[in-house]
Amino acid sequence: MEQLIENSKPPYTILLLTGLSQILLWGGSYFLLSVLSAPIMQETGWTYQQVYGCLSLGLFISGLLLPAIGKIIQHTERNYILHYTGIVMGIGLIMIGLATTYPLFVLGWVVIGVGMGMGLYDALFASLGKMYGTKAKKVIVWVTLIASLAPSISWPFTSFLLHELGWRHTCFTLAGILMVGIYPIHQYIFQPVAAKIQVATTGNISFRTKIFYLLLANFTIGALITTGVVVHLIEILSAKKIGMPTILLIVAFLGPSQSAARTLELMIANRSAVEMAFISTMAMLLGIGLLFFHPSLATIGIIIFGVGNGMRSVLRGTLPLAIYGPEHYPLVIGRLARMPLIAQAAAPFIGGFMIQQFGTTIYLCSLCALLLMNLILIWKIKSYELQLQKS
């Protein structure tokens, strides 16, 4: 039966199940190699670049597919894209678990990349926007608040499986959980939606506009900075003459601070998405600045950066909704996701090259320059928003 649920509030059961599905999907893809990379490299002899290059490939594949995925979500009543993401990702995990040759391992990550495009944040935000329209902002904040626990839950669980089963059977077990668990959860959550603003009769939308390119540049720079800091954080802190025990303690604050950002979003929900984007970017700039100028305040710097980054994750969904509204939201989300994911895939290589060639000081200066550029972009976005309000 078709359902018109735009402007309705989801029950807490829906929020919890959606957050749970995201924890499972992130744990079986993006966060997988954090635990399994070492035993994979030890058994196979593949290099660090070979193993982690496959994760970058998966992100690249998902970025290429997201415009088409957004279009499918926009123009279909039954959201089969999210329904089958666990099955697709599970097939990729099985291929990885069976891989005795590197090409099969790579192919497994290509399939996982397809699953990541089908079911992680961008496709999820598009689907939530289609279902809840103007009320999707609060839904996105709540879901990302729950989903931010993904590393805290998935890393210990994957580590337990690794200890008990080995890395190959860990992949098989995670595949089984995703293939059996995600389909019924998503089938329950994402019922057919045929609201009048959500079907294919809504007309065309042009993406060759100033505001679209401003948002695209802002999101791409944000993805480049976030991945560039998180991936190379230990190297950055080590260059500041901080001991490894202290580094591990500092890094442990990153996840909780990102969760705290979602709670902050709920507390100051009256702020516009553009204002939240400004606060997020300023927090990230201040956090990196503390790392650069005052290494003794590195813990505070990481907490502030984590808060800003946590807010940025939410803004990926709420800022386009505020600018474009719910009518073309899935299409917009899909188009806006491609370049940030490609930047996310390239960031580890760009950051590694810059640190090796120029050192962490120049690298941190470059990140601060990019954040200042993002502040200018946000000011431009705010100006455009004011023009729309006057017209």
Mean pLDDT of the chain: 83
Q: What is d(CA 175, CA 171) in angstroms, rounded to the nearest whole number?
A: 6
140: closest CA among 375, 312, 342? Answer: 312
> For residues 125 and 119, what is the distance between their CA atoms, to the nearest angstrom?
10
Reported as a single tens digit per residue, the pLDDT across 307-340 is 888 888 888 888 888 888 777 788 888 888 888 8
Q: CB under 8 Å to 272, separation ≥6 — which residues?
A: 322, 385
**CA-based nearest residue to 163, from 31, 38, 21, 20:** 38
The Cα 119–Cα 53 span in angstroms is 21
Tokens representing residue 221 in the block = 């720079």
Q: What pTM was computed for the model? A: 0.80
- What value, to the nearest 5°, has the Cα angle with vertex 156 and ends 53 and 14? 90
Q: Per residue in 33-51, pLDDT tens?
A: 878 888 999 999 998 888 8
> Which domains are delineated in the chain?
12-201 (1.20.1250.20), 203-390 (1.20.1250.20)
**Residue 196: predicted pLDDT:** 39
Question: What are the pLDDT digits (tens) for 253-311?
Answer: 777 787 777 677 666 667 788 888 898 899 999 998 888 777 778 888 888 988 888 88
